[in-house]
């Protein structure tokens, strides 16, 4: 990782926090000095929204240990919002990207040459849910998928819910 914010937090008294910025110039290594012996946790996050966490224990004074924090993988989610039956792409549709039932991104489908297209970059790996709502027709749609590899491109088209007609007769004691 060429750049990241790294934080070490001691898990017991005096509960000190140490922050450092990881840069390519320091070969992706940061060193924290004056850390008290005992357990600690380290978190790291980069500008692309990737993050990682690891715990460890410093066994005694003057001892140095190496700790590796692995950041989550990210990928791209892209696709189109389509009308059912005709698969006609729809512009200006609001698309919400959810991960673990939490909205992590919002976009609007494009008009013009790439009509109906949307794209989300740097999406954390895991289960993905897309929800679309066309403000012109009130039609919504849902698509689900999973990102699992670094740099993966997940193509998910959101298909609008089909509409139909319901007809019937209201009766009272068997009479219309």
Regions of the chain where pLDDT drops below 50: none
* Predicted pLDDT of residue 147: 93
* Predicted pLDDT of residue 32: 94
* Predicted pLDDT of residue 135: 94
CA distance 3 to 5: 7
Total Cβ atoms within 10 A of residue 6: 21
* Predicted pLDDT of residue 33: 92
CA distance 19 to 7: 4
* Predicted pLDDT of residue 169: 94
CA distance 50 to 158: 26
* Predicted pLDDT of residue 170: 94
Q: Which residues of 48-84 are buried (b: 16+ CB within 10 A; e: fewer)?
A: eebebeeeeebeeeeeeeeeebebbbbbebbbbbbbe
Average pLDDT, the chain: 92
CA distance 133 to 95: 7
pTM above the 0.95 mark?
no
């Amino acid at each position: 990782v060429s750049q990241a914010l790294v934080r070490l937090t001691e898990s017991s008294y005096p509960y000190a926090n140490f922050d450092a910025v990881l840069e390519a110039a320091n070969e992706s290594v940061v060193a924290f000095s004056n850390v008290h012996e005992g357990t600690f946790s380290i978190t790291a996050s980069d500008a692309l929204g990737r993050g990682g966490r690891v715990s460890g224990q410093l066994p005694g004074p003057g001892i140095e240990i190496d700790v590796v924090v692995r950041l989550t993988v990210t990928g791209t989610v892209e696709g189109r919002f389509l009308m059912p039956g005709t698969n006609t792409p729809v512009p200006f549709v609001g698309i919400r990207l959810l991960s673990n039932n939490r909205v992590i991104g919002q976009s609007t489908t494009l008009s013009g040459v790439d009509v109906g297209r949307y794209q989300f970059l740097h999406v954390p790996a895991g289960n993905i849910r897309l929800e679309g709502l066309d403000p012109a027709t009130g039609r919504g749609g849902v698509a689900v998928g999973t990102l699992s590899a670094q740099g993966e491109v997940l193509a998910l088209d959101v298909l609008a819910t089909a509409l139909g007609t319901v007809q019937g007769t209201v009766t009272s004691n068997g009479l219309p």
